[in-house]
Every structure is written in structure tokens, then in C-alpha cells.
């Protein structure tokens, strides 16, 4: 814990959260609830002491959580080095939770963790209950502070000299020396706003180039395209400009391609992260890890220079974990992606021409089209969305993690039209030679494509389509399909 804390502090983290084993969701497996993790006291003490030894403690705020229930818990956390404190279990109990641990089953008897309208009628919680509880926490903490002669919470931070072992036989057998060590008696160590890490955001490409060139167009909501050069130290390119779009116009008020930034060079970490609808980033070159992380409606296009001397479909052009946690938008990659492509994708459409290991891991929605080979453990934990994979070598079945998904042929008309439409967009956006070859003889390629779809998602999807044919809206059909399949299960 100390090593990780020191590392992320050096990298510019502003808050470090130490989360203990004793809290957590009631949806977790029993084996995890009862057998995984350690007390927050151990991790908190180690992180706090290591940061002090490395001269980094003043740069960060340390937060802790994990079933803090009383003012005394907050006191101990502060004395061990925490400045902020998280509460979840106790506030849930004040709202009526009886800890049935069925949060994932939609059967919460108190109407808290459920979408079932009948169960939700049982909910009796009020915001005032949590306010009242937090007043009790604060009052108990103030009483302890008064006994210790401490005036502010900041003065408590790191004061391990105010802690001692209980004089009982059980405590005598435990060595607390490492937990209670590490600070000077009577001296506290905590975050100093004057020592905050400077990210120098004003020097980023977004601020120095993109905002200047597109600022007037953004203000007037007019369409514009610019050209820039990028290098691999330009991290999270487009994210700040995308945030400004969202700040001014909301999530999806702009049309696609309202603002296009044509980049040439090597994209740095998190190129195009979180960009919203209306912003398109086109990159001629290659890109690093986390390409399109959290994509939120925007469009990303990546392809090699037209005069490159290699076949794009045979070369890696983007790093690992592309499209991590994407929620919407489109990404077209003319080349092979690294490992964990589209992990946790929940709504974006993404195309590439080959992936490494663990592709589409934990995917919950959206579409992924792989026009080439995949690595091992494809679709592990995938619970939603669809992946279309060109399985020319007929070995996808051996690489597939089949615990939650099935492998099917692309035979339904809807699937064929959807697949063809996505490949057409990919070819138009990137000029992909492979996509053009597939489209030129699409009917003969269709049998080589495989559809990977989660079992439960397939049931929901078929029910939704049937309900939509009866006249329901998409949202109504999804809600109704959920309850229909729940009853059947």
C-alpha cells in the first residue's frame, strides 16, 4: 500500500483512498465478503507513513472508508493519517437497509436496491435520517476531541502518539509497533494546499492550440475543422476541449462532426478520453494506451499514413485498453489493437482489425467489430452488447471465454445489415483496405463472421424487439423485458 501510495502521489494524484475489507456491496460473492481484504487501519497507517518518509504527504489528501460506523472510528482513522472519511453502510442502515445482501437480485425487501415498483413502495428512508446520523457522528467525535484537548480535525491527523493498546491479554499478543510508528510526538502531518501538484494544464495542446483555433467556432456553435501535429507526450488530447463543449451545450446537443481535429503524429496516453458528441478526432499515425477511454458520444478515427509501407491490418496501431469504459460514440481503428480492447464498453461502436488478449472483457453494451484475429480469453465477463468477429482461421471458439456468452453465426437479417453498415462506416472513415475487400465480396465473408452475445442479453434483446414490434418505445420495451425475463428466471 505504501509503495502504491508513493507512486501515485509522485504521478500527481490528489486524493488517495484506502478502502477496508469490512464495507462493500451486498452484491459481492460470499467468498469475497468473508475472505478477501484487510482492515483499513493497516493500509492507512502504511500509506501515511510511507508518504511522510518520501516527503509526499503534503501533496495529497488521504481518505478512508470501509464500514466507519461511529465517531470513534473517525477519530482512529484521523489519528492514523486520514483527512476525509467515507460512509455507506451506516447511512444505508439509517435509510432502512437490513443487510439481506441481495442487492444484485432486484429483490431488496426494503425497496432500496431494486427497480421493482412494488418493492420500491416499501422504501421509508428520508434525507433527514442521514443528516441526523451524521450529526451524531460529529458530536461523538467532538466529545473525544475535547477530552484530548484537540480543537480541529486537521490537528488530529497522524497523531499516533494519542493511541495506545488496551490493557487486555488479547491486545498484548498483537504487535502494534508498525501501525503506531512513523510520526513525531505532538506533530501532525496532512495535506498542504500550497504543495499541490501542478499539472500545467494551461500548457496542454487543448489550451494552447485547440481552444484558440476553435474558440470562436465553439462560441458561435459553427462547424469547423483544424489540423494539428501531436506527439506521444500530449496526453488526454481533446479531453479539455470536450469538457468545454459539454459545459456549454450539454451531452448531446451538437451534431456529429461539428468540430473535427485532424491530428498527425503519435497520440499519447488517453487520446480522445471522454470526448462528447459533436467532437471528432482523426489521427494519422499511431496511439498509446487508453485510446478513447470513457468515450462519451464523440468520434475517433485512427489510421496509418497513406504512404506507409506496411499493411495496416497486420500491424499494431493502438496500445492496450482502448475504449475502456466507453459509454457512447464511435471509434474506427485501421489496424490491430492491443490487449483488453473495449473492456467495460457500455454503449460505443468500435471497429479494429485484430485484438490482443482479453478483448471485450466485462463489456456491457455497444458493438465491437473485429476484422481479424483475437487473443485468448475473449469476452471474459461480457454481460451485454454484441461482438462481431471475422473468424477466418476458425479458431475463435478456442480463444473464447464461454462462461457468459455464446458463439453464433451471423444469420439474422438485422445482424447482417448492422454488421455491413458498421464496416461501411469504417471503410469510409479510415480507407481500410481490408474493409473494402470485405465489402466488395460481403456475402462470401458473412459465413466467416461470428456473433458473440451474452446468454441473458440475448434473451432480453429478443424480448425487447418483440415488444417494440407491438408499439412500445425502446425505453418502455427495455423495462418491460427486464421484468418479463426476471419472472421467467
Q: What is d(CA 172, CA 211) in angstroms, rounded to the nearest whole number?
A: 63
> What's the pLDDT at 196?
86
pLDDT, tens digit, 9 for 90 and up, residues 277-333: 999 999 999 999 999 999 999 999 999 998 888 999 999 999 999 999 999 999 999
Q: What share of the chain in percent tops pLDDT 90? A: 75
Query: Which of 82, 84, 76 lies closest to 162, judged by CA?
Result: 76
Please give the pLDDT value at position 123.
95
Q: Which of 53, 70, 52 is nearest to 62 (CA)?
A: 52
pLDDT in tens, 8-53: 999 999 999 999 998 887 877 778 888 888 999 999 999 999 999 9
Average pLDDT along the chain: 92
Q: Is the pLDDT of residue 424 over 90?
A: yes
Give the Å distances, CA to CA, from 434 to 104, 301, 367, 445, 464: 43, 16, 19, 12, 34
- The grid coordinates listed for 3 are 509503495
Q: What angle do CA 133, 134, 136 make, to 5 degrees?
A: 65
Most confident range (mean pLDDT) of 84-88, 99-103, 179-183, 469-473 is 84-88
Report the alpha-carbon distance of residue 457 to residue 237 in Å, rounded.
Answer: 34
Q: What is the pLDDT of residues 181-214, one digit of tens each?
A: 866 655 678 888 888 888 888 999 999 999 999 9
- What CA–CA distance (Å, rounded) separates 415 from 418? 5
173 C-beta neighbours (distance < 10 Å), count: 7
Query: HSE on the CB side for 434, CA within 13 Å?
Result: 24
Tell me the per-residue pLDDT of 383-413, one tens digit each, with 9 for 90 and over.
999 999 999 999 999 999 998 999 999 999 9
Let me know: does 232 contact 288? Beta carbons within 8 Å.
Answer: yes
- Where does residue 74 fall: left (phi above 0), alpha (psi -120 to 50 degrees), or beta otherwise? alpha
Query: What is the arithmetic mean of pLDDT over 214-219?
Result: 95
pLDDT in tens, 120-171: 999 999 999 999 999 999 999 999 999 999 999 999 999 998 988 877 766 6
pLDDT at 183: 61
In sequence order, the β-bridge partners of residue 284 are: 264, 303
Coil/strand/helix, residue 350: strand
Q: What is the pLDDT of residue 108?
A: 93
For the stretch 358-368, pLDDT in tens is 999 999 999 99
- Kindly report, residue by residue over 285-300, the tens digit of the pLDDT: 999 999 999 999 999 9
Position 430 confidence tier, pLDDT thresholds 50, 70, 90: very high
Amino acid at each position: 500500500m505504501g509503495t502504491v501510495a508513493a507512486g501515485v502521489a509522485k504521478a500527481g494524484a490528489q486524493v488517495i483512498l484506502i478502502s477496508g475489507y469490512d464495507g462493500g456491496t451486498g452484491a459481492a460473492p460470499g467468498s469475497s465478503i468473508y475472505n478477501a481484504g484487510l482492515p483499513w487501519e493497516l493500509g492507512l497507517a502504511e500509506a501515511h507513513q510511507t508518504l511522510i518518509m518520501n516527503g509526499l504527504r503534503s501533496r495529497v489528501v488521504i481518505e478512508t472508508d470501509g464500514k466507519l460506523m461511529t465517531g470513534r472510528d473517525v477519530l482512529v482513522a484521523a489519528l492514523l493519517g486520514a483527512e476525509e472519511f467515507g460512509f455507506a453502510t451506516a447511512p444505508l442502515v439509517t435509510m432502512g437497509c437490513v443487510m439481506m445482501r441481495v442487492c444484485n437480485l432486484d429483490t431488496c425487501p426494503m425497496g432500496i436496491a431494486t427497480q421493482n415498483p412494488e418493492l420500491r413502495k416499501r422504501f421509508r428512508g428520508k434525507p433527514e435520517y442521514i443528516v441526523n446520523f451524521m450529526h451524531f457522528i460529529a458530536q461523538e467525535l467532538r466529545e473525544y476531541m475535547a477530552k484530548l484537548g484537540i480543537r480541529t480535525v486537521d490537528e488530529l491527523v497522524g497523531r499516533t502518539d494519542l493511541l495506545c493498546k488496551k490493557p487486555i491479554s488479547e491486545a498484548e499478543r498483537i504487535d502494534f509497533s508498525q501501525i503506531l510508528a512513523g510520526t513525531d510526538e505532538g506533530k501532525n502531518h496532512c495535506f498542504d494546499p500550497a504543495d499541490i501538484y501542478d499539472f500545467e494544464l494551461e500548457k496542454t495542446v487543448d489550451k494552447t492550440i485547440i481552444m484558440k483555433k476553435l474558440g470562436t467556432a465553439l462560441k458561435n456553435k459553427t462547424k469547423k475543422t483544424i489540423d494539428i501535429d501531436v506527439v506521444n507526450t500530449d496526453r488526454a488530447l481533446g479531453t479539455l476541449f470536450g469538457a468545454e463543449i459539454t459545459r456549454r451545450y450539454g451531452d448531446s446537443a451538437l451534431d456529429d462532426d461539428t468540430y473535427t481535429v485532424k491530428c498527425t503524429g503519435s497520440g499519447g496516453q488517453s487520446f480522445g478520453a471522454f470526448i462528447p458528441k459533436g467532437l471528432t478526432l482523426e489521427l494519422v499515425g499511431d496511439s498509446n494506451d487508453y485510446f478513447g477511454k470513457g468515450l462519451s458520444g464523440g468520434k475517433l478515427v485512427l489510421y496509418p499514413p497513406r504512404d506507409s509501407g506496411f499493411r495496416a491490418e497486420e500491424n499494431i496501431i493502438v496500445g492496450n485498453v482502448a475504449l475502456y469504459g466507453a459509454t457512447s460514440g464511435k471509434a474506427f481503428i485501421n489496424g490491430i489493437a492491443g490487449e483488453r480492447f473495449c473492456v467495460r464498453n457500455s454503449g460505443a461502436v468500435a471497429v479494429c482489425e485484430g485484438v490482443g488478449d482479453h478483448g471485450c472483457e466485462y463489456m456491457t453494451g455497444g458493438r465491437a467489430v473485429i476484422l481479424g484475429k483475437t487473443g485468448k480469453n475473449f469476452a471474459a465477463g461480457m454481460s451485454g452488447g454484441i461482438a462481431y468477429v471475422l473468424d477466418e482461421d476458425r479458431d475463435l471458439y478456442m480463444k473464447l471465454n464461454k462462461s457468459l456468452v455464446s458463439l453464433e453465426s451471423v444469420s439474422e437479417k438485422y445482424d447482417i445489415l448492422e454488421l455491413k453498415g458498421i464496416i461501411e462506416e469504417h471503410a469510409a472513415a479510415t480507407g481500410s483496405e481490408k474493409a473494402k475487400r470485405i465489402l466488395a465480396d460481403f456475402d462470401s465473408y458473412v459465413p466467416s463472421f461470428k456473433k458473440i452475445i451474452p446468454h441473458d442479453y440475448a434473451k432480453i434483446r429478443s424480448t425487447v424487439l418483440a415488444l417494440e414490434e407491438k408499439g412500445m418505445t425502446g425505453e418502455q420495451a427495455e423495462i418491460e423485458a427486464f421484468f418479463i425475463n426476471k419472472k421467467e428466471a
